[in-house]
Amino acid sequence: MGPNGAGKSTLINTLLGFHAPASGTARIFGTDIHEAKALRRHIGYMPETDAFISHMSGVRFVRYMAELAGLPPEPALERAHEAFFYVGLGEARYRKLGSYSLGMKQLAKLAQAIAHGPRLLLLDEPTNGLDPPARQRMIRLIREIREVEGMYVLISSHLLRDVEETCEEVLILKDGRIAAYSDLEAERRSNRRFVELETVGTSPSFTSAVQGLGCECAFYPNGQGVERVKLVLPETTSMRELFRLAAQHDVQIRRMNYRRDSLEDIFLAAMKENGGRVGRL
């Protein structure tokens, strides 16, 4: 993750062997990136910019790319069809790529990246130019692919929300250097005890009961019968206790959030920090 010009795409291009590294080393699955050809066998790449052959039909294009990745013609055709159905373009697979909308082109790029069954998927700005439903679909697909055993996804993006929804770890780049690293999963786990509630019908007895659990809490009434409650649960108290107390005191819990440092906070802090001197790429 990083602002425009931070070096996100350059990093991906270097990992793919498109640019020779000026110095340093990098390994993917234990193989040095100088052995680019051997590495690319395991990689699926979805570039940021347009990448298609406009006069080819979608399925032919993906089959072609799968064959170049080493699949024999028949399995390549089969997987091209599967990939198109998987990304939701099944009905459009015989149309020429030049006639696709921007969102469809993004999905076609994803189809060609996964058709040959790579172990590592490099996605460069995968939600660029997508409308909200298409973006949601892309995010869902990425999360599904990520869940497959032995599959790794590396996403380059400047959209915090995309990263937050799809990634477990974040590397923030600035001016070609590592500005910050964040293990989002660990962050989520460590902040699990900070809870934010939105309630209706809060009574003093409920307040006392919650405090009786040993929670540190603060109540923020908004004057319309809805209250916002921020609390820190002790280690020994489970979330179920809160629901039990709410039921006992006839309080409705309308919303419950784990409050944690948002990725935006982490990102902004990294951008402010001494010119991104945390590490080198």
User: How many residues lie near other proteins (CB under 8 A)?
Assistant: 48
Can residue 265 be called a binding residue for other proteins (CB under 8 A)?
A: no
Cβ distance 66 to 79 under 8 Å?
yes
Piece of the chain touching other proteins by CB under 8 A; list 147-155, 165-173, 177-185, 240-248: 147-155
- Within 8 A by CB and 6+ apart from 41, the residues are 69, 70
Can residue 71 be called a binding residue for other proteins (CB under 8 A)?
A: yes
Piece of the chain touching other proteins by CB under 8 A; list 80-88, 126-134, 225-233, 248-256: 80-88
Can residue 143 be called a binding residue for other proteins (CB under 8 A)?
A: no
Q: Which of 5, 26, 68, 99 is in the footprint of other proteins by CB under 8 A?
A: 68
Rounded to whole angstroms, how far apart are CA atoms 128 and 195? 33
DSSP-assigned states of every residue in 227-274: EEEEEE--TT--HHHHHHHHHHTT-EEEEEEE----HHHHHHHHHHSG
Can residue 21 be called a binding residue for other proteins (CB under 8 A)?
A: no
Rounded to whole angstroms, how far apart are CA atoms 187 and 205? 33
Sequence letter at residue 206: F
Piece of the chain touching other proteins by CB under 8 A; list 63-71, 163-171, 179-187, 260-268: 63-71
Q: How far is the CB of 4 from other proteins (least distance, A)?
A: 15
Nearer to other proteins, 114 or 215 (CB): 114
Q: Which of 6, 58, 79, 174 is in the footprint of other proteins by CB under 8 A?
A: 79
Can residue 77 be called a binding residue for other proteins (CB under 8 A)?
A: no
Cα 163–168–174 angle (5° rounding)?
55
Can residue 64 be called a binding residue for other proteins (CB under 8 A)?
A: yes
Can residue 107 be called a binding residue for other proteins (CB under 8 A)?
A: no
Q: How far is the CB of 134 from other proteins (least distance, A)?
A: 17
Rounded to whole angstroms, how far apart are CA atoms 124 and 47? 5
Rounded to whole angstroms, how far apart are CA atoms 255 and 241? 16
Rounded to whole angstroms, how far apart are CA atoms 213 and 242? 9
Can residue 41 be called a binding residue for other proteins (CB under 8 A)?
A: yes
By CB neighbour count within 10 A (0-12 exposed, 13-18 middle, 19+ buried), where does 278 fall? Answer: middle
Can residue 94 be called a binding residue for other proteins (CB under 8 A)?
A: no
Helix (H, G, I), strand (E, B) or coil at 159: coil
DSSP secondary structure letter of residue 156: E
Q: How far is the CB of 128 from other proteins (least distance, A)?
A: 13
Can residue 200 be called a binding residue for other proteins (CB under 8 A)?
A: no
Cα 209–212–213 angle (5° rounding)?
100
Q: How far is the CB of 172 from other proteins (least distance, A)?
A: 23
- Token readout for 217 is 């809490």
Piece of the chain touching other proteins by CB under 8 A; list 40-48, 184-192, 196-204, 228-236: 40-48
Which stretches of the chain bind other proteins, using CB under 8 A?
13, 16, 18-19, 37-38, 40-41, 43-45, 47, 49-55, 64-65, 67-72, 75, 78-79, 81-82, 85-86, 90, 98, 112, 114, 116-119, 122, 144-145, 148, 150-151
